[in-house]
Amino acid sequence: MTLGYDARTVCRDVRVAIPRGSFTVILGPNACGKSTLLRGMARLLRPTAGRVVLDGRAILEMPSKELARRLGLLPQGAVVPEAITVGGLVARGRFPHQSLLRQWSSADEIAVAGALQRTGMLEHVHRRLDELSGGQRQRVWIAMVLAQQTELLLLDEPTTYLDVSHQVEVLELCRTLNRREDKTIVAVLHDLNQAARYADHLVLMKDGAVVCTGSPTDVITRDRVTEVFGLACEVFPDPLTGSPMVVPLPPRDQ
């Protein structure tokens, strides 16, 4: 498919398949089109050519609420609505399940409580979002998407701006959701080593095109990292997990 803004094409002729049940990570330099691709997958952006298919059906033909019950998106740098509480934000994830005839119900209550519990935020339900740390806030956003109860979660840079222990915490949460609850996860990350550790499927992008997809071992090679990121490096097996580990080389002396 091809995606862009007004007359400007950003992603041209990209072909990606997200394996069901995978933890897929999209990697690529700044401005290469990762968010644009994710927004296309979530129908926030209509392709200028091609289409997105979910379970054999074009998402453009699905009613919005049905799509929102199957796919949840956490956009990059989501802005906190003013003076909202943790519970209030997570409850927004239930909108797709409501209608004029079916207002707030016990099913909504259970979904919200479950999402707060799995993200460790239940005890903070009445706190205001702007009182929380960045890591806690990120967990609340994920709880909001979880409350939507979709099988597919699209997370745009869920770890950016977090310190390393909170990054790991968010990635562990994603892994648990993927493994224990069979959620298919598609996340944009910047850290190649974290991506290689947590993902079972990578999509590597450059300049609006998909350079390569596959397992971390297949995708993360020295030459490819150098080509895509312009980074001289070596790739070793991670001593703990065996996944590829990128070690940047110092720039050569002039």
> In sequence order, what are the beta bridge partners of 58?
53
Amino acid at 26: I
Amino acid at 10: V
Give the x/- contact pattern for Mg ion in 10-49, rule: CB under 5 A.
------------------------xx--------------
Which of 34, 97 has the CB closer to Mg ion?
34
CB of 9 to Mg ion, least distance (A): 17
CB of 208 to ligand ADP, least distance (A): 7
Scanning the structure block, which residue is given the tokens 């089109």? 33
CA distances 221 to 193, 208, 209, 239, 252, Å, are 12, 20, 18, 17, 20
Determine, following the binding rule CB under 5 A, whether residue 159 of this chain makes contact with Mg ion. no
Q: Are 62 and 230 in contact (CB under 8 A)?
A: no
CB of 16 to ligand ADP, least distance (A): 14
Burial of residue 62 (number of CB atoms within 10 Å: 0-12, 13-18, 19+): middle
Among Mg ion, ligand ADP, none, partner that 93 touches (CB below 5 to 8 angstroms by kind): none
> In sequence order, what are the beta bridge partners of 235?
246
CB of 10 to ligand ADP, least distance (A): 4
For residue 24, the surrounding DSSP H or E stretch is: strand 23-27
Give the x/- contact pattern for Mg ion in 73-112, rule: CB under 5 A.
---x------------------------------------
Q: Are 110 and 93 in contact (CB under 8 A)?
A: no
Q: Torsions phi, psi of 212, nearest 5?
A: -170, 145
CB of 161 to ligand ADP, least distance (A): 15
Which of 33, 96 has the CB closer to ligand ADP?
33
Residues 210-249 close enough to bind Mg ion by CB under 5 A: none
Residues lying near ligand ADP in the complex (CB under 6 A) are found at: 5, 10, 28, 30-36
List residues near Mg ion by CB under 5 A: 34-35, 76
